[in-house]
């Protein structure tokens, strides 16, 4: 996953959450886990399978889920794919994110 975050954000990290999370307690030094520090132009959606429980750092944060462009790299049970929408205005309004009027023919043929 580090290579994917390097390609998408310019910074390699295994953690997909937003910002920095400090792991530890008051008795020990808290260790920072650096995630995604800014909104990405291309998003990342991850599904590892129903049986695997993910911690908070393995689940993509909003900075990867809602990219600047309507393009997402998807990771589904060990396979990578690309999902996109030709409507660049899709992510300008959060109400519009829920209105998908059509599925591109390429995606229809893959299902």
**Domain ranges (residues) in the chain:** 2-110
Rounded CA-CA distance 77/90 in Å is: 27
Residues 7-18: pLDDT tens digits?
999 999 999 999
Q: How high is the pLDDT of residue 48?
A: 80
Report residue 41's pLDDT band, with 50, 70 and 90 as the boundaries.
very high
Secondary structure element (H or E) that encloses residue 78, with its range: none
pLDDT at 72 over 60: yes
DSSP helix/strand/coil, 84? strand
| CB contact at 8 A, 60 and 46 | yes
53 sits in which H/E element: none
CA proximity to 21, closest of 11, 12, 33: 33
Q: Over the chain, what is the mean pLDDT?
A: 80
- Which pLDDT band holds residue 89 (cuts at 50, 70, 90)? confident
């Amino acid at each position: 996953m580090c290579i994917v975050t390097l390609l998408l954000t310019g910074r390699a990290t295994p953690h997909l959450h937003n910002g920095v999370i400090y792991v530890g307690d008051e008795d020990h030094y808290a260790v920072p886990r650096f995630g995604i520090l800014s909104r990405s132009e291309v998003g990342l959606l991850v599904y590892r399978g129903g049986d695997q429980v993910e911690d908070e750092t393995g689940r993509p944060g909003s900075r990867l889920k809602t990219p600047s462009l309507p393009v997402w790299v998807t990771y589904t049970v060990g396979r990578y794919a690309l999902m996109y929408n030709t409507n660049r205005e899709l992510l300008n309004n959060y109400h519009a994110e829920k209105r998908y009027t059509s599925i591109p023919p390429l995606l229809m043929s893959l299902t």
